[in-house]
Amino acid sequence: MTRRIPAPLLVLAAIVSVQFGGALAATLIPLVGVFGSVTLRLTIAASVLLVIARPRLRGRTTEDWLVVSAFGAILAMMNLFFYGALARIPIGVTVTVEFIGPLVLATVLSHQRKDLLAVSGAAVGVVLISGVTNTPWAQVDLAGLGLALAAGAAWAGYIVFSGRTGARFAQLDGLAIAMTIAALLVAPAGVATAGATLWTPDALWRGAIIAVLSSVLPYSLELIALRRLAANVFGILLSLEPAVAAMAGLFVLDQHLEVPQLLGMACVVAASGLVMGTRPAPPPSEALAETTNQ
């Protein structure tokens, strides 16, 4: 059935799934906190991926385990930073600021002057969306913006180690193992901070939906789409993530962005489309890391 659906529509569906999963995560954080939310999201997603992938554990070298462990640690940090930002600032702002990470990485790898200009435009966009141009300095949530930037840096690292892991592990094996490692790293703090609230029906159903929307569904859709999608089309679609995040924030969380923030988001989306839309095709594992990071 999915063969009849155009590949760009599958990627768009994956992006919508990820961002609405992120918006729903913002409703889970008040219940179980940041560590509790990340614990539920990673634990459930890891369980599903382990069942689907059934990764081979025997015969792995020490270097294989070092790479996949680093991948898992970065995944844990990326989710903690992202959810920490979600707890403080709107999801549209979070995703736009976070997007600077992979954008800068793509620019560094491309070595093209036009990409440097694009990043400069994206930097202007981040200033606008941060609110510093029309908000008293004391009211700007610097901690939230800092967490979003840290999530972007972790996202860039995630892309790098996704490629390295994909070169050593077949299909989704490396991702399933890394997700499990990430869950094990976060779970002790999640259980300690959330306590029994972590196991309430309300928290569990939200965590399960977030895991499906943020991991299982988009991974499946993108694996199918990336087999028949041009690299430039994929890059342009990827650049729409901040705008979709803003829509998710509006519909799910009733978060409204001001005009300067929308202009800033447009700057980042345009810069991303310019940089991502002209680069070589990424490996499937790396491409998945770029779109399903949350």
Domain layout of the chain by residue ranges? 2-291
Which residue carries 């997007």 as its tokens? Answer: 99
Model confidence at 136: pLDDT above 90: no
User: pLDDT for 83-100, tens place per residue?
Assistant: 999 999 999 889 888 888
Tokens at 232, concatenated: 């430039």
- Residues 6 or more apart whose Cβ sits within 8 Å of residue 57: 177
Q: What is the tens place of the pLDDT at every residue in 57-86?
A: 888 899 999 999 999 999 999 999 999 999
**50 versus 136: which is more confidently predicted?**
50
Read off the pTM: 0.86
Q: Is the pLDDT of residue 233 over 90?
A: no
Query: Is the distance from CB of 56 to CB of 271 less than 8 angstroms?
Result: no
Q: Residue type at 232?
A: N
Averaged pLDDT for residues 204-217: 90
Where are the alpha helices (H) located in the chain, listed in sequence order? 7-53, 62-86, 91-98, 100-110, 113-130, 142-168, 173-194, 201-211, 217-225, 231-238, 241-253, 259-276, 284-291
